[in-house]
Structure 1
Amino acid sequence: MPEGKRKGLLVVISSPSGGGKTTVYRAILSRHPDYKYSVSATTRPPRTNERHGVDYFFLSDEEFDEKIKNGEFVEWAYVHGHRYGTLKKFVEESLASDEVLIFDLDVQGAAAMKAAYPDESVLIFLLPPSREELRQRLIHRGTDPIEVIEQRLKNAEQEIKRIPEYDYLVINDDLQQCIDRVDAIITAELCRPFRVLPVPGWGI
């Protein structure tokens, strides 16, 4: 194995709001029980049935501040008035166990992950086939007023400008095909020589 490279894989999936990333990563996790989902820390109060350490690490503002001060986050950001972050300890433990760890991150979080773990991370961006298709998906979701939907579309326009920073772009015009392609990307990344070696039968 090349010096300095670890076998663990950090799979970062991003998309505009309504782009399908939650559905896709949940499908991947259901196919591969050995893959893990990265549990983020947040200052948001727990919702019904959410469990600490399973859905999120629920922290007070003071606890979150302390972890920022101590450099314990790979990345963190404000989202809808609350803070969310990825804990270095969680990532390092996963890499030490050669695991596949899946992240749901925005473009800023993805960039931070790539900067911190350039060899171990792979960035995948999911994109609906058109702006109008994304608009219709957000409308049909029925969770946001029209002004929020329009803001999400404006945000999407900014996010897609950063697609060249990603390793892969998958158009989500057919959900099953999109899931299959993301699954294939992960499989291909796991076949990189530094993740497969050594092969004792060949003495390599």
Structure 2
Amino acid sequence: MSPVDDHAKPWETVRRGLLLLVSSPAGAGKTSLTRTLVADHESLILSISATTRPPRPGEQEAREYYFKTRAEFEAMIAAGEFLEYATVNGNYYGTPRGPVEAALEAGDDVIFDIDWQGAKQVAEKLPDDAVRVFILPPAWGDLERRLKARAQDSEEIMEQRLRLGREEIQHWQQYDYVIVNKNFDRAYADLGHIYRAERMKPGRNPWLPEFVEGLLDEAYGDHEPTGAPPRTTMMRPVQK
């Protein structure tokens, strides 16, 4: 059977998922970008965090967050059940390890709307799977205007978000890619290009060695001609 037979396309079915970790200061557009990317790609799922903060109006369990009591969250910490966690404004936030690792093994990709500290922790635990993308605003004034236009937070909370945003931006060099969100459509296209390119890396496609071996079998046939270049031993691709 030919490796490109319509009934045998391993590149469509057998691969390891990736983690797309997207960070930005509040108001720079990462939530809109990540949610749109998920809506446009069936293979991409949104990581759901656990938190001890109470649900806001309209929020649902296991859709926006897994809502936990402080005791439940701390028991999960003690059991090593988080890829990352932190305390923000007096509440715990964290990423449960189990669903993420199950998704990777199933070949699904997981996108994170996450701060720099969480992205760092996840990347340290799963370095071969993580891709970090930082979203910058075109100007600080634009970010302030976006936050004020939301009219969702008190003046005190907004000042906290701006303070955290200034700290967040200082960590941009820890990321693999940086996008300036001056125009949403352009920024979204850039994020999509990054995602699709990362899916093509050899280390995330364990079907490649066998597939290439099949191509070479076809290319050489039953006998390799005299003077043909030596065939390399089939090896699992190395993630870079």
TM-score of the aligned structures, taking structure 2 as reference length: 0.77
**What is the distance in 2 between the residues matched to 1:148 and 1:57?**
23
User: 1:171 is matched with which residue: 168, 174, 180?
Assistant: 180
**What is the distance in 1 between the residues matched to 2:53 and 2:158?**
22
Deviation, structure 1 residue 78: 1.5
**What is the distance in 2 between the residues matched to 1:49 and 1:148?**
20
Q: 1:119 to 1:51 in 2, by over 3 A?
A: same
**What is the distance in 2 between the residues matched to 1:143 and 1:67?**
31
Local SS of the residue matching 1:173: coil
List alignment gaps of at least 5 residues for structure 2: 1-14, 214-233, 235-240
**What is the distance in 1 between the residues matched to 2:151 and 2:60?**
26
Residues 1:159 and 2:168 are matched in the alignment: yes
Bigger-Rg structure (1/2): 2
Residues 1:114 and 2:123 are matched in the alignment: yes
Residue in structure 2 matched with residue 100 of structure 1 by the alignment: 109
User: 1:180 is matched with which residue: 167, 172, 189?
Assistant: 189
TM-score of the aligned structures, taking structure 1 as reference length: 0.90
User: 2:92 is matched with which residue: 59, 79, 83?
Assistant: 83
Higher RCO, 1 or 2 (CA under 8 Å, sep at least 6)? Answer: 1
Identity of aligned residues (%): 38
User: 1:47 is matched with which residue: 33, 56, 59?
Assistant: 56
Residue in structure 2 matched with residue 193 of structure 1 by the alignment: 202
Cα contact 2:16–2:206 (8 A) shared by 1: no
Q: 1:149 to 1:63 in 2, by over 3 A?
A: closer
Q: CA RMSD in A?
A: 1.7
Post-superposition Cα deviations, 1:173-192, rounded to whole Å, max 9, x if no partner, equal 00111111111100000011
**What is the distance in 1 between the residues matched to 2:143 and 2:190?**
20
Deviation, structure 1 residue 154: 2.6
**What is the distance in 1 between the residues matched to 2:160 and 2:206?**
47
Please identify, of 158-167 and 49-58, the stretch whose mean Cα deviation from structure 2 is larger: 49-58
Residues paired across the two proteins, number: 199
Deviation, structure 1 residue 146: 4.1
List alignment gaps of at least 5 residues for structure 1: 1-5
Deviation, structure 1 residue 197: 4.2
**What is the distance in 2 between the residues matched to 1:143 and 1:49?**
14
Local SS of the residue matching 1:65: helix
**What is the distance in 1 between the residues matched to 2:47 and 2:70?**
21
Deviation, structure 1 residue 45: 2.2
Post-superposition Cα deviations, 1:16-47, rounded to whole Å, max 9, x if no partner, equal 01111110011101111221001111112233
Residues 1:17 and 2:26 are matched in the alignment: yes
Q: 1:52 to 1:145 in 2, by over 3 A?
A: closer
Local SS of the residue matching 2:170: helix
Residues 1:149 and 2:191 are matched in the alignment: no
Deviation, structure 1 residue 53: 2.4
